[in-house]
């Protein structure tokens, strides 16, 4: 069963760092098994001595011992659960962290394939299920396996025939559990997959509530929800039928085992091979043996659910980004130089998003990228940030191949700002510093003032401690853009990419943003993508794209002066500001 193996492999990888706790847990298992199995033996000794006339004080001593063991035993059972749960939480918290980092290091294709709802389901819900698996695996399987072995040793010690019979019974029960588990695991995987799809659907629709209402698509959305829920119920019903089959099989097996043990004991008693106290002890151990097997069964449903989630976690961990990290660090000591050399790129086979694009920017130069929608402007910026790698051609930053650069240093040196600024559920300070405590308040306020956000900041009830909420608290689209600029100043990149930042702004806010841009772009290389020609006033060179190919490039002033250039015609058609 590959899923179970995958789970064990995962467990083993994480257990390596928890060896002392693991050793402690095994000690608790051994003591607990000893306490649980010694009780019936004490009782047997009591029964053997009950008719002896000189055994009064011995019987009191045995009874006290029995009581003592009965009192301590639950404490160790509790300790067993506590240590196992603790160990499991430590492992799964680490796994949750590793999974989050793993998802964050994926390329853009990954984000397109897995909607946020599905990822939350995997990183959080699946890992919680896995936590249950680990703790149940440790307590129900390993702990109970200790107990089964302990009981089996004692039964063999009492009589080899009883030992053999119960060993056969344990083996048949475990094989039956194993078989039923293999049969039902795919049903639980289906349930989990369906749940992931349902959550993905819900997350997407909730994020698009405004659009759904505006287009009167509520009924369509509800139909989609009902369809998915109905499918989930069907899959859950099938999985529950398997649980029922497993449980019924085990009940039959237990009844047969008790009957066989009693029959054999009575037979041995008739042969005078054992006394009546031993008959009782054998029966006691047979019932005690059922208990760990039953507990394994009790947890089976959760284990089946968990093995489904383990497959999904392992599948997620096996996805590796197509973007390979480089080793060279990009030191930013000023504006960066950039070169695209014959770059071609396609998202999918048969379609070409960019074809043989070549251009270069000297440090401090500003390029204006223009072109119709779908012409490939954003694709250029995505290649530059290494969300994808081009199939042909190379990109160089400061004369170093992009693929040779350390990704973290590259993404610290190149900042992309688009119209969707992410405002976090955090304070103004945290939204600007992105939780970097080393940045002083004075520095933050100084930047806000330079960007023209001083009035907005002074109106905040708690200053930098005011909490911002996405879409709320008086932050207009323009102010959100300025907040993104403030973040850029603090990270101090050598190249800034502005993707359509002013397209949703009114003319007054756009003017305000333009003033802030003067300050932002000082001593930085930049690429500006804009439909609004006012924003292009500041660019040095222009590159016009059409269907992924460059149809024109040159100095902005020269192109604007040439009445036959695409750029000049765009200016004319746009009937907007003169860009000279
Ligand atoms: N993730 C993607 N998967 C497949 N094709 C894509 C993807 N993103 C973009 N494309 C396609 O690549 C081409 C270039 O898209 P791109 O977003 O770069 O254009 P753009 O000029 O930035 O458009 P806009 O001005 O509308 O943002 C388009 O044909 C687009 O449909």
State pLDDT tens for residues 447-484: 888 888 887 788 888 888 888 875 555 577 777 888 88
Least confident of 331-340, 547-556, 563-572: 563-572
Determine the average pLDDT of the residues in 279-294: 84
Distance 184 CA to ligand 1 centre (A): 44
Q: Which atom of ligand 1 is nearest to the CA of 375?
A: 21
DSSP state of 461: T
| 184 against 410, higher pLDDT | 410
Distance 460 CA to ligand 1 centre (A): 39
Whole-number Å distance between alpha carbons of 471 and 459: 18
CA distances from 17 to 12, 22, 87 (A): 9, 10, 10
The pair of structure tokens assigned to 407 is 């990704």
Q: What's the count of helices (H) and strands (E) in the chain, helices before strands? A: 21, 12
Distance 378 CA to ligand 1 centre (A): 7
Per-residue model confidence as pLDDT tens digits over 56-73: 888 888 899 999 998 998
Least confident of 197-206, 314-323, 377-386: 314-323
Ligand 1 test: best mutation among 115, 354, 355, 378, most atoms within 8 Å of CB? 378
Give residue 568's pLDDT band: very low, low, confident or very high (50, 70, 90): confident
Nearest-CA neighbor of 279 among 258, 294, 295, 293? 258
Question: Looking at the predicted structure, is the pLDDT value of residue 294 above 80?
Answer: no
**Considering just the CA atoms, what is the radius of gyration of the chain in Å?**
35
Determine the average pLDDT of the residues in 548-577: 81
The protein residue with its alpha carbon nearest to ligand 1, atom 3, reads 347
pLDDT of amino acid 486 = 86
Whole-number Å distance between alpha carbons of 547 and 372: 8
Per-residue model confidence as pLDDT tens digits over 261-285: 889 988 998 988 888 888 888 888 8
DSSP state of 121: I
Per-residue model confidence as pLDDT tens digits over 347-405: 887 788 999 999 999 999 999 998 888 899 999 999 998 888 999 999 999 999 999 99
pLDDT of amino acid 549 = 93
Quick one: what percent of the chain has pLDDT higher than 70? 93
pLDDT of amino acid 577 = 41
Question: Looking at the predicted structure, is the pLDDT value of residue 503 above 70?
Answer: no
CB atoms near residue 256 (< 10 Å): 12
pTM over 0.90: no
Distance 374 CA to ligand 1 centre (A): 5
Q: Which residues line ligand 1 (CB under 6 A)?
A: 112, 347-348, 353, 371, 373-379
Residue 250 neighbours by CB under 8 Å, 6+ apart: 173, 176, 177, 293, 294, 297
Whole-number Å distance between alpha carbons of 380 and 72: 70
pLDDT of amino acid 33 = 87
Per-position DSSP letters for 463-488, written without gaps between them: GGGPEE-TT-TT--HHHHHHHHHHHH
Residues written for the chain: 580
| 472 against 421, higher pLDDT | 421
Distance in angstroms between the alpha carbons of the first and the last residue of the chain:
72
Whole-number Å distance between alpha carbons of 501 and 490: 19
> What homologous superfamily is domain 19-318 in, according to CATH?
ABC transporter type 1, transmembrane domain (1.20.1560.10)
The protein residue with its alpha carbon nearest to ligand 1, atom 9, reads 379
The protein residue with its alpha carbon nearest to ligand 1, atom 2, reads 347
The protein residue with its alpha carbon nearest to ligand 1, atom 11, reads 353
Q: Which atom of ligand 1 is nearest to the CA of 112?
A: 1
Residue 409 neighbours by CB under 8 Å, 6+ apart: 329, 330, 331
For residue 553, the cross-strand partners are 543
Mean pLDDT of the chain: 83
Nearest-CA neighbor of 380 among 357, 407, 351, 410? 357
Whole-number Å distance between alpha carbons of 201 and 185: 24
Distance 61 CA to ligand 1 centre (A): 85
CB atoms near residue 218 (< 10 Å): 12
Ligand 1 test: best mutation among 375, 531, 546, 550, most atoms within 8 Å of CB? 375
Nearest-CA neighbor of 536 among 527, 545, 523? 527
The protein residue with its alpha carbon nearest to ligand 1, atom 28, reads 374
SS3 (DSSP) at 194: helix
Distance 353 CA to ligand 1 centre (A): 7
pLDDT of amino acid 225 = 92
pLDDT of amino acid 303 = 66
The protein residue with its alpha carbon nearest to ligand 1, atom 12, reads 353
Kindly report, as residue ranges, where domains of CATH 1.20.1560.10 are found in the chain: 19-318
Longest Cα pair distance anywhere in the chain, in angstroms?
Answer: 125
Residue 571 neighbours by CB under 8 Å, 6+ apart: 533, 560, 578, 579
Kindly report, as residue ranges, where domains of CATH 3.40.50.300 are found in the chain: 338-423+475-574
Q: Which CATH number fits domain 338-423+475-574: 3.30.420.80, 3.40.50.300, 3.40.140.10, 3.30.1540.20?
A: 3.40.50.300
Whole-number Å distance between alpha carbons of 44 and 155: 13
Determine the average pLDDT of the residues in 70-79: 90
17-20, long-range: CB < 8 A, 24+ apart: 17/94, 18/87, 18/90, 18/91
Question: Looking at the predicted structure, is the pLDDT value of residue 580 above 50?
Answer: no
Residue 339 neighbours by CB under 8 Å, 6+ apart: 359, 360, 361, 395, 396, 399
SS3 (DSSP) at 66: helix
Whole-number Å distance between alpha carbons of 305 and 300: 8
ipTM reported for the complex, 2 dp? 0.97
Per-residue model confidence as pLDDT tens digits over 224-234: 999 999 999 99
Nearest-CA neighbor of 143 among 250, 25, 257? 25
């Amino acid at each position: 069963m590959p899923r179970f193996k995958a789970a064990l492999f995962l467990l083993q990888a994480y257990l390596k760092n928890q060896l002392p706790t693991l050793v402690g847990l095994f000690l608790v298992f051994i003591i607990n098994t000893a306490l649980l199995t010694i009780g019936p033996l004490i009782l047997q000794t009591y029964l053997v001595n009950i008719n002896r006339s000189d055994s009064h004080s011995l019987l009191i001593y045995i009874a006290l011992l029995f009581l003592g063991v009965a009192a301590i035993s639950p404490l160790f059972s509790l300790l067993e659960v506590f240590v196992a749960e603790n160990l499991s939480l430590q492992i799964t918290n680490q796994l949750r962290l590793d999974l989050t980092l793993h998802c964050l290091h994926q390329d853009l294709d990954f984000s397109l394939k897995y909607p946020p709802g599905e990822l939350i389901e995997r990183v959080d819900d699946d890992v919680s299920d896995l936590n249950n698996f680990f703790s149940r695996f440790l307590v129900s399987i390993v702990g109970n396996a200790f107990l089964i072995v302990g009981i089996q040793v004692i039964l063999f010690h009492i009589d080899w025939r009883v030992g053999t019979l119960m060993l056969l019974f344990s083996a048949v029960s475990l094989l039956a559990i194993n078989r039923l588990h293999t049969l039902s695991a795919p049903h639980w995987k289906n349930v989990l997959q369906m749940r992931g799809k349902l959550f993905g659907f819900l997350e997407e629709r909730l994020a698009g509530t405004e659009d759904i209402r505006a287009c009167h698509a509520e009924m369509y959305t509800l139909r989609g929800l009902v369809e998915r829920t109905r499918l989930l119920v069907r899959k859950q019903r099938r999985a529950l039928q398997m649980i029922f089959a497993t449980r019924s099989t085990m009940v039959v097996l237990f009844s047969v085992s008790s009957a066989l043990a009693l029959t054999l004991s009575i037979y041995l008693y008739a042969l005078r091979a054992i006394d009546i106290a031993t008959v009782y002890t054998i029966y006691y151990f047979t019932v005690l043996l059922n208990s760990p097997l039953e507990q394994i069964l009790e947890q089976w449903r959760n284990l089946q659910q968990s093995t489904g989630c383990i497959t999904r976690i392992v599948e997620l961990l096996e996805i590796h980004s197509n973007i390979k990290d480089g080793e060279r660090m990009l030191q930013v000591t000023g504006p960066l130089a950039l070169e695209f050399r014959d770059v071609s790129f396609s998202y999918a086979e048969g379609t070409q998003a960019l074809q043989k694009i070549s251009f270069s920017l000297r440090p401090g130069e500003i390029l204006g990228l223009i072109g119709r929608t779908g012409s490939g402007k954003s694709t250029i910026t995505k290649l530059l940030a290494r969300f994808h790698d081009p199939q042909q051609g190379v990109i160089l930053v400061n004369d170093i191949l992009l693929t040779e650069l350390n990704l973290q240093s590259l993404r610290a040196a190149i900042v992309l700002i688009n119209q969707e600024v992410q405002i976090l559920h955090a304070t103004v300070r945290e939204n600007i510093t992105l939780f970097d405590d080393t940045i002083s308040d004075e520095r933050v306020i100084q930047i806000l003032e330079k960007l023209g956000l001083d009035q907005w900041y002074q109106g905040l009830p708690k200053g930098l401690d005011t909490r911002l909420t996405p879409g709320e608290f008086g932050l207009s689209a323009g102010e959100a853009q300025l907040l993104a600029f403030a973040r850029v100043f603090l990270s101090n990149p050598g190249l800034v990419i502005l993707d359509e930042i002013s397209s949703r702004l009114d003319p007054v806010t756009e003017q305000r943003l333009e003033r802030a841009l003067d300050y932002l772009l000082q001593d930085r290389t930049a690429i500006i993508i804009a439909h609004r020609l006012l924003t292009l006033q500041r660019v040095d060179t222009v590159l016009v794209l059409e269907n992924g190919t460059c149809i024109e490039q040159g100095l902005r002033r020269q192109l604007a002066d040439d009445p036959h250039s695409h750029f000049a015609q765009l200016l004319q058609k746009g009937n907007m500001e003169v860009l000279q």
